[in-house]
Amino acid sequence: MSPRPRVAGVDSPHDLLALLGGTRGVVESSVPGVLFGVVYPVSGGRLGVSVAVAVASAVVIAALALLQRRTVQQAVSGLLGVVVMAAYAEWRGDATSFYFLSVVKNAGYGTAYLVSVLLRWPLLGLILGPLLGEGVRWRRDPARLRAYSWASLVWAAMFGIRVAVQVPLYAASATTALGLANIPLGLPLFIPTCIVTWLILRSTHPVREAAAEPERAAQPAPEAVAD
């Protein structure tokens, strides 16, 4: 049996990281939250100023992505998320509430990854499968299904770590600490997750559609047709 082909463009953890959003996207997504947490105590606890700085930073990030002709989907979704968090904090009149959506989002993603593994539809396979050209054919390959399951558990653990750090800080109304926590919970946690994911998935390869050899074999040879 001939070995399956390697996946073009995903031959290293760096390639996988780029496929899942890239380092720049992860850093940019954490900037508004960090600025909010820093500006709040510096401004003397002025919620309006902190919100304005966070939203302005998200607008600048989205504008730069547009000017540099980069994919703006991530930047725009980040901007919308910051606007929603800012509106919620203003509505509650509580600075810590700015991070409520982040806590809920991480808890939701972690739960989704875990449940998807239990249902034998690992979420990472549903995300990467189409990008790697295998769709959901990986479910027919026990080794590939197992690899996606373990990798999805790694992502569930990443989101679980974020929640484990954020929830106590949120309960203690530690606004600045929540903002600064975005730094280690961002890229420093995302990169190892991608590396471990790549190490797990490299033991298998995307499941391609079988070539139409049986069809061709069933057809008569050219000489027979000529007769």
User: DSSP for 171-203?
Assistant: HTT-HHHHHHHTTTTSHHHHHHHHHHHHHHHTT
- Please name which of 53, 79, 54 lies closest in space to residue 66, comparing C-alpha atoms: 79
CB 58 within 8 A of CB 36: no
Single pTM value for the model: 0.83
Mean pLDDT, each 10-residue run in order, the chain (227 residues):
44 79 82 94 93 93 83 78 93 94 96 97 94 90 95 97 97 94 93 93 81 44 41
CB 62 within 8 A of CB 76: yes
Instruction: Please tell me the predicted confidence (pLDDT) of residue 210.
Output: 59
Residue with tokens 């966070």: 54
